[in-house]
Structure 1
Amino acid sequence: MSQIITLPTVSDDRGSLTIIEKVLSFKVNRIYYIYNVNSNDIRGGHRHKTNIQALICVAGSCRINLNNGSVKSEVILDNPNKCLIVEPEDWHTMDNFSKDAVLLVLASEYYDASDYIDKPYSNQ
């Protein structure tokens, strides 16, 4: 099941610095980000066989809809120190992107089309 972790952040008069170090349970092998998404567009729509992902909305906000086959939930990512860990079994979609949203994704696996499961759970 997915979980939210708060990333360590140091703030002072000069601004804030958020650190992603020794907080993820996996080695990061792929990094990408999603941006310029229309607010009514939906991204994702799949789950994985092995890939674990850490999602961070580093600017703006978006909603993540999750379903692990028995529990459905949604998470609003609206702070760059909020990190959502998405497990392989978590069917996920992303929507409600603010105009300035930038969604950073840290993935445990390199891209592999055979790792994607595009068939939703029956309780969708």
Structure 2
Amino acid sequence: MAYLINIPTFSDDRGNLTVLDEAIPFQIKRLFYIYGVDNSARGGHRHHQTIQAAICIQGKCTIINDDGDTVEHIELDQPSKCLILETKDWHVMTNFSADAILLVLASTNFDASDYIFTPYEHQA
């Protein structure tokens, strides 16, 4: 199941410094960011191998996560809040604020064959 971690943040009169170095529980192989999103949903997949860390570094968005047993709606609204998405976590990113910037760190390099687009089927 996906889980939230707090990234160490140091604040003083000059502003805030958030440090990712040792907060992310995997070696980072790829990073990308999503911004300028209209009312569209992004994602809609899970992975065979890749673990991801999602941080909304500006604005806010919601990640709908389904691990096959539980569906959760997780709001990312602080740059020190990080959602760890494991391989079993089928996720959709939605409700982006106009100013949202979602940073995603991944444990593997891009590989199209790593993606599983079919959502879980749940009992009614």
Give the match for residue 35 of structure 1.
35
Q: Which has the larger displacement, 4-13 or 19-28?
A: 19-28
Pairs aligned (count): 123
Secondary structure, in 3 states, of the residue corresponding to 2:87?
Answer: coil
Alpha-carbon shift at residue 91 of structure 1 (Å): 0.3
Give the match for residue 67 of structure 1.
66
Deviating 4+ runs (over 4 angstroms): none
Query: Structure 1, unaligned stretches of length 5 or more?
Result: none
Identity %: 53
Give the match for residue 51 of structure 2.
52
TM-score norm. by structure 1 comes to 0.97
1:25-67 superposed Cα distances (whole Å, 9 cap, x missing partner): 21000000000001x2100000000100000000000000000
Distance across 1 between alignment mates of 2:73 and 2:15: 29
Secondary structure, in 3 states, of the residue corresponding to 1:47?
Answer: strand
Q: CA RMSD in A?
A: 1.0
Alpha-carbon shift at residue 24 of structure 1 (Å): 1.8
Distance across 2 between alignment mates of 1:102 and 1:24: 18
Query: Structure 2, unaligned stretches of length 5 or more?
Result: none
Give the match for residue 121 of structure 1.
120
TM-score norm. by structure 2 comes to 0.97
Residue 15 (str. 1) matches residue 10 (str. 2) = no
Give the match for residue 26 of structure 1.
26
